[in-house]
A and B are shown apart, each in its own frame.
Chain A
Amino acid sequence: MISDITLGQFFPGFSPIHKLDPRTKIILTTLFIIEVFLADTPLLLALMLLTTVIMIGVSRISFAVVLRGIKPIFFIIIFTAFFNIFMTKGQGEPLVHFKIITIYKEGIIRAVFMGLRVIILILGTSILLTYTTSPISLTDGLEILFKPLKKIGIPVHLFSMMMTIALRFIPTLIEETEKIMNAQKSRGADFSQGGLIKRVKALIPILVPLLVSSFKRAEELATAMEARCYRGDKNRTKLVKLTYKPLDFLWFAMAVLLFGGIIALRILPGHISPDSLIYDILFYKV
């Protein structure tokens, strides 16, 4: 049944990452993305890879499951890798030279580097955020983090309410789509045959009822919310209060440490002789 799909790929659990405040996770994720883009040498990239692997371990989500998350973007990674291999011009002799195809050492290094970078980025952000944070606490976290924007007239509460309701109704609408499709199939509708125009036309008997019922749902929900005294964020309190715990500060500290390390390693090259072997291993620039 389609309605069984996990929403936003959240895997419930009780690991130290699961227990973090959603705000912490949002901030850490932002930091992580910056760090990955700052990591431009094999050493730094290896450091980020290590960090990611440790985080996966801590999250107690199986590696197999996490790696499956890369599947949808696998094609893009392969494509960019190929692009890099063939298009990068190196300085030395090409490794392969066959008709119009020339491959340089630099091209391969670059391809591996770019591929790894994308993979680390996807793995890291999903482990920190999407796999370990329920959509609802993510929404809560965002609402609080963006609260200052209310001062410049952005209706933060409204956006967060909309997001909550969207999350609530996605499974319901999926179920409903399934039902309507079955109903129209029972009236001889065919969604799998014919050309593009015919197929698009075949969607009308699904989309119209879906829209009509969504409007009806929206209206009924609005009435129900009004009946439960909803009046925007005026005078509104919350059941769940987000509080930073020692664990959050520990993670912040580690993140800052990592960030500092990366900056240091980026400045360091100036202090080591560029001719030495160590320099080449550590700071090979791509």
Chain B
Amino acid sequence: MDVLELKNVSFVYSKGTPFQKVALDNINISFEKGKITGLIGHTGSGKSTLVNLLNGLNKPSEGTVLLNGKDIWEKPKEISKIRYKVGLVMQYPEYQLFDETVRADIGFAPRNLGLSKEEIEMRVLEAAKFTGIDDSLLNKSPFELSGGQKRRVAIAGILAMKPEVLILDEPAAGLDPRGRREILGGLTEYINHNDASIILVSHSMEDMAYYCDNVVVMNKSRVFKSGTVKEIFSNADELNDIGLDVPIVAKIASKLKKSGIDLQGTLYTVEGVKEAILNYIMEGKR
């Protein structure tokens, strides 16, 4: 089942001025419910514009955006309700922190939703849990925290809305490998618990390979290709043509295959390639 769907969507910036620019050109894609879909493409390929359309920050110049089969712009006055359902975590979200305490900042969106005090507190605690924020930090000022902690608080601020779809634009940018793993791992847990879906925008092919089920590749304002991770990463040449890479292990696996080593399985993660090589050896011994 699809949770979000774009039908014939186009978007033009500054229409009718000399600065006019087509950012999206007739996009047709859908995002599966309960899955993590990766969105890749160069800066300027239309990714960010697409993301802003998905949660109603911008209105498509043409076409419709459907959430659970309903046009999100059916009632333009109620577009803010859509934003609660499709939570967007922007790049470097720590820049949006403003409240006196971490607790209050995470609770900003639930307060805007008009929830009861108890409900707000519950959501704050839950969001903190998924993002790995220790309870002892909740009464601190968000500005006292380290960069990595601020990032978690900002993401928790969106999780507290309990969105059905969570869009994350480079949530791990600038973090070290451990920070990356912890944040992305927590998010996977969140969607499993809440029957939600994730759209992950990232330049890191390794993260795509490791966390995503499906991938949408954008190029020059259009959808270049979409499919399962396996489908996308099994054709490295195609991605190379538009200047994108596949994970290094995927390259190694494809080189091994070209040298006559018949590998089978998920050939784009370290784990997967390892298993494939070990299986290959076992087969040979049999």
A205 contacts B13, CB within 8 Å?
no
Closest to B110 in A: A188
A187 contacts B157, CB within 8 Å?
yes
Using Cβ atoms and an 8 Å threshold, which residues of chain A touch B19? Answer: 1, 4
- Comparing A165-173, A175-183, A255-263, the segment that makes contact with chain B is A175-183
Q: Which of B90, B96, B109, B158 has the most CB of A within 10 A?
A: B96
Closest to B113 in A: A188
Interface size on B, residues (CB 8 A): 26
Contact A183/B80 with A188-B112, A212-B143 known, Cβ cut-off 8 Å? no
Q: Which of A183, A186, A205 has the most CB of B within 10 A?
A: A186
Bound: A183/B84 CA distance, A = 12
Q: Does A209 lie at the interface of the complex (its beta carbon under 8 Å from any beta carbon of B)? A: yes
Give min CB distance, B85 to chain A, whole Å: 11
Q: Does A213 lie at the interface of the complex (its beta carbon under 8 Å from any beta carbon of B)? A: yes
Using Cβ atoms and an 8 Å threshold, which residues of chain B touch A205? Answer: 96, 98-99, 108
Interface string of A183-199 (1 = CB under 8 A from B): 11111111000000000
Contact A180/B83 with A185-B57, A187-B161 known, Cβ cut-off 8 Å? no
Q: Does A204 lie at the interface of the complex (its beta carbon under 8 Å from any beta carbon of B)? A: yes
Bound: A189/B108 CA distance, A = 9
Using Cβ atoms and an 8 Å threshold, which residues of chain B touch A272? Answer: none
- Restricting to B110-167, which residues have a CB under 8 Å from any CB of A? 112-113, 143, 157-158, 161
Q: Does A152 lie at the interface of the complex (its beta carbon under 8 Å from any beta carbon of B)? A: no
Q: Does B52 lie at the interface of the complex (its beta carbon under 8 Å from any beta carbon of A)? A: yes
Using Cβ atoms and an 8 Å threshold, which residues of chain B touch A184? Answer: 96
Bound: A188/B56 CA distance, A = 12
B88 contacts A186, CB within 8 Å?
yes
Bound: A206/B108 CA distance, A = 13
Q: Does A96 lie at the interface of the complex (its beta carbon under 8 Å from any beta carbon of B)? A: no
- Restricting to A220-272, which residues have a CB under 8 Å from any CB of B? none
Bound: A164/B258 CA distance, A = 58
Bound: A1/B17 CA distance, A = 11
Using Cβ atoms and an 8 Å threshold, which residues of chain A touch B14? Answer: 1, 4
A208 contacts B98, CB within 8 Å?
yes
B90 contacts A183, CB within 8 Å?
yes
A185 contacts B143, CB within 8 Å?
no
B157 contacts A209, CB within 8 Å?
no
Closest to A190 in B: B80
Using Cβ atoms and an 8 Å threshold, which residues of chain A touch B95? Answer: 176, 179-180, 183, 209, 212-213
Closest to B111 in A: A188
Task: Among B57, B84, B112, point to the contact of A190 (Cβ < 8 A).
Answer: B112
Q: Does B97 lie at the interface of the complex (its beta carbon under 8 Å from any beta carbon of A)? A: yes
Contact A182/B57 with A187-B157, A187-B158, A204-B98 known, Cβ cut-off 8 Å? yes
B83 contacts A186, CB within 8 Å?
yes
- Restricting to B63-105, which residues have a CB under 8 Å from any CB of A? 80, 83-84, 87-88, 90, 93, 95-99
- Restricting to B16-55, which residues have a CB under 8 Å from any CB of A? 19, 52, 55
Using Cβ atoms and an 8 Å threshold, which residues of chain B touch A180? Answer: 95-96
Bound: A223/B183 CA distance, A = 31
A186 contacts B87, CB within 8 Å?
yes
Give min CB distance, B240 to chain A, whole Å: 32
Residue ranges of B at the interface with A (Cβ–Cβ < 8 Å): 13-14, 19, 52, 55, 57, 80, 83-84, 87-88, 90, 93, 95-99, 108-109, 112-113, 143, 157-158, 161
Given pairs A1-B13, A205-B96, 10 additional interface contacts (CB within 8 A):
A180-B95, A182-B52, A183-B88, A186-B90, A186-B158, A187-B83, A187-B157, A205-B98, A205-B99, A209-B96
5 residue pairs, one from A and one from B, having the closest CB atoms:
A188-B112, A208-B98, A183-B96, A187-B109, A186-B88
